Structure 1
Amino acid sequence: MNTVSRIRAFNRFYTRHLGLLEKSYLGSGHSLSEVRVLYEISNNQGMTARQLIESLNLDEGYLSRILKRLETEGWIERAQSKKDRRQWLLAMSPAGYEKIATLQHRSNSEIETMLRPISENDQSALTGAMATIENVLTKQQQCDVQFHDLRTGDVGWIIMRHAELYAEEEGFKAEFEVLVAEILAAYMRNHDPDCERAWIAEQGGQRLGSIFCVRQSRKVAKLRLFFLEPQARGLGLGQKMLDMCMGYARGKGYEKMVLWTHESHEAACALYRKFGFELIDSKPERSFGRDLVTQNWQIAL
């Protein structure tokens, strides 16, 4: 049996063994896709339908039908965003929270029942095999990603996507787009190719993110314009980009790297902390149409 046939056979076994093909998942009266959407909303209160589409890679029309059913049955609620009146945010209702808790308990019970006759050694082998599958596929996704310096069209794309994403996810107004444009204009006019560098992450011709190392002083580098498209998050790509940027700065003789960000960027801040960055100061201020807490971080290289 070749690799393709073996993987397809495993998929058939796995979906059948866990009951993933049943019309009513875990006896909920809903499909696996509907329950998965509910789970995603329960863990990301206030997300938009667009974010759900990007997170779960669902067809827009199919997701619309799922959301309509979940809302009709009283499991989710929609509220107009106070930051952007064009957006509608998704949240769990009390009944929805109760429902997802019941399903999670039922799922845990079924897995515990499945594992009960299996020895501890075999359970370790099972979870180890799962980790191997996840690691191999994640590594392959990262291997397919290419990095290059700025090319024609990249600057416009960075400005556009920063403006769109931060408007959608943070409620930032047009002033933020102006700031990003000013940063890039200054970089394009003045950057020193001997000690400054930009990276664009790309996969299959699609841009996924950017990161910049710029000179603040002879010994201090500044990290700027670091972001990832929603569909590229959670794959370890951000870690790879940050490691690449810091390695470049060390190689150019910088002794310290600094960055400026906002407290609301929780995932990015967690990544900075993981890499050893130290939070130097923070202060509340009104910027981009929002009340924010700005932060300055640094790390010795």
Structure 2
Amino acid sequence: MSVHEVRAFNRFYTNVIGALDYGKHLYTPYTLTESRVLYELAHSPRTDAADLRTELSLDAGYLSRLLGKFERDELVERAPSETDPRRQRITLTPRGREAAAVLDERSRRAVGALLEGVPERERERLAEAMRTVREVLAGTRTDRVAQPVLRDPCPGELGWIVQRHGALYAAEYGWTTEFEGLVARIVADFAQDHDPQRERVWIAESDGRPVGSVMCVRADAPATARLRLLLVEPEARGHGLGDRLVRTAVDFARTAGYREMVLWTNDVLDGARRIYQRTGFTLVAEKPHHSYGADLVGQDWRLPLQEAPLQEGQTS
């Protein structure tokens, strides 16, 4: 391949991207860079400014000015990092998350309109070619390690969660469709009625396709969140993605004001249980049961998220 061919591809693709025109086609007040920053912040409940600068290859001064603008517009909040006071934690406000959601939806529509002119039989070929370009060029970037993106589910991906749970647990544990039915009910309940400020689903995306999921929903007990539907595809395991998904859900629950987070799992799920232990969950109850065609031991786990308020007469 010659330099000329690469430059020709760059010119062609730049024109294609220009057709999307963030300032006009998407009818938003944000530049392309501002949109990229909002996107990154929307897919991580808490992001340090230093990590954001590295991920997007932005100048420190430029990013600081951009975040200052977002802060004045009440899109973000800045605070010292909990792990390192020298670092600055950036969090989207509800208004910022709404702005990011609008951008995301309009971007999806713009790309969808672009793909309308591509015959269905050619779309997978196009997607494979794009994956190849990313993989080949990423191989020349030894200074950065690609990480899956955590994001909200696209239309149809709640169904993907059901399908992958059913297929993986049947293949790895021999569980019957009874388990897939349970996952389908959980997903249906979320899809039909959930509070976006206090309940969320994350999809882990790698190379343009889902490779994991997790959910945070309200539990029956007051001020209690429930962790559900943690899944990591076999090829994505061993790189910390499961820990990242759980930490993201825990951070969201803490920010949403829940006082504790609970989960129910089974003793045979060794990998998941180790993740819960590393995150700080403790086992509080066990009970044998026969479900999904197998004899299992169900387990309840709990993680405090906020300090309990002092009762009258108590001292700190």
Q: TM-score by structure 2 length?
A: 0.50
* Alignment equivalent of 1:167, drawn from 142, 166, 170: 170
**Which residue in the other structure is 1:259 paired with?**
263
RMSD: 1.6
The residue aligned with 1:215 is 218
Inter-partner Cα distance in structure 2 for 1:197 and 1:285: 29
- Determine the C-alpha separation between the residues in 2 that align with 1:262 and 1:247: 24
1:157 to 149, 157, 160: 160
Give, in angstroms, the shift of residue 272 of structure 1.
Answer: 0.7
In the TM superposition, what are the counterparts of 1:1-301 in structure 2 within 5 Å?
Answer: 140-142=145-147, 145-216=148-219, 217-301=221-305
Unpaired segments of 5 or more residues in structure 2?
1-140, 306-316
C-alpha spacing 1:204/1:297, structure 2 compared with 1 (3 Å): same
Q: Distance in 2 between matches of 1:294 and 1:137?
A: 44
Classify the secondary structure of the residue corresponding to 1:244: helix
Query: 1:138: Cα distance to partner?
Result: 11
Shift in alpha-carbon separation, 1:139–1:220, aligned structure 2, 3 A? farther
Provide the C-alpha distance between the structure 1 equivalents of 2:278 and 2:270, rounded to a whole number of angstroms: 12
Q: Deviations over 1:140-174 (max 9, x none)?
A: 132xx112112111011111100000001111001
Superposition deviation, residue 195 in structure 1: 0.6
Q: Counterparts of 1:263 and 1:243 in 2: how far apart (Å)?
A: 21
Match of 2:254, SS state, is: helix
SS class of match (1:283)? strand
Shift of residue 275, structure 1, vs aligned partner: 1.4
Q: In the alignment, residue 195 of structure 2 is paired with which amino acid?
A: D
Distance (Å, rounded) in 1 between the aligned partners of 2:271 and 2:143: 19
Distance 2:178 2:160 in 1: 17
Percent identity between the two aligned chains: 44
Say which structure is richer in helix. 1
- Partner of 1:159, secondary structure, is helix
Which ranges of structure 1 fall in alignment gaps of 5 or more residues? 1-135
Question: Any idea what SS the aligned residue of 2:146 has?
Answer: helix
Contact 1:138 1:235 in 2 (8 A): no
1:68 aligns with: none
Residues of 2 paired with 1:174 and 1:262: CA distance?
A: 17
How many residue pairs match? The answer is 164
Q: Aligned-pair distance for 1:210?
A: 0.3
Name the structure 2 match of 1:78.
none
Per-residue CA deviation, residues 10-32 of structure 1 (Å, 9 max, x unaligned), is xxxxxxxxxxxxxxxxxxxxxxx
User: After TM superposition, where is structure 1 displaced by more than 2 Å over at least 4 residues in a row?
Assistant: 136-139
Name the CA distance, whole Å, in 2 between partners of 1:300 and 1:212: 18
